[in-house]
């Protein structure tokens, strides 16, 4: 079955922080607006994260992340669960920080996992202060 984007208007999203709490300029919605000039920018601190609660059960097979160079994560941990269950680790992913002036785009194949909730933890920022900048976040797979 072909993969399709799983994040939709009914997907509930949460993020660990927003730079200076300025959600209008740097809020989570900018990861999904398909505008290459807007982004989610976390505040400083270790282990920034994004959670996605899908409106129905999905089978995840790919993760697309577009970071700002210099503000990416060396290690991303994926966790997921079915409704009412505890999060369990799915995979560790290792994005590359291509160039400080460039936007790096990473596509990761993940072992197909059936879940209702996905958490992506950015554990090791390339920024000295722990900030993460994401221009695009996409999860692909199959709706069940």
Spans of all domains in the chain = 4-98+107-143
Categorize the per-residue pLDDT at 100 as very low, low, confident or very high, splitting at 50, 70 and 90. very low
Q: pTM value?
A: 0.91
Categorize the per-residue pLDDT at 101 as very low, low, confident or very high, splitting at 50, 70 and 90. very low
Count of helix runs (H) and strand runs (E) in the chain: 1, 8
4-98+107-143: CATH homologous superfamily? Galactose-binding domain-like (2.60.120.260)
Q: Give residue 111's pLDDT.
A: 79
Q: CA dihedral defined by 15, 141, 55, 131, rounded to 10 degrees?
A: 0
Segment 17-74, tens digit of pLDDT: 999 999 999 999 999 999 989 999 999 998 999 999 999 999 999 898 888 888 999 9
Q: Give residue 106's pLDDT.
A: 61
């Amino acid at each position: 079955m072909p993969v399709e984007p799983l994040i939709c208007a009914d997907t509930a999203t949460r993020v660990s922080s927003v730079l200076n709490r300025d959600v209008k300029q740097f809020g989570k919605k900018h990861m999904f607006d398909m505008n290459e000039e807007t982004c989610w920018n976390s505040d400083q601190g270790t282990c920034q994260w994004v959670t996605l609660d899908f409106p129905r059960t999905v089978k995840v097979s790919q993760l697309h992340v577009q970071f700002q160079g210099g503000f990416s994560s060396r290690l991303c941990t994926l966790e997921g669960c079915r409704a009412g269950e505890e999060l369990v680790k799915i995979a560790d992913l290792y994005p590359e920080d291509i160039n400080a002036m460039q936007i790096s785009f990473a596509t990761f194949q993940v072992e197909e996992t059936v879940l209702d909730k996905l958490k992506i933890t950015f554990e090791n920022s390339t920024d000295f202060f722990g900030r993460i900048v994401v221009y695009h976040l996409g999860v692909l797979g199959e709706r069940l």
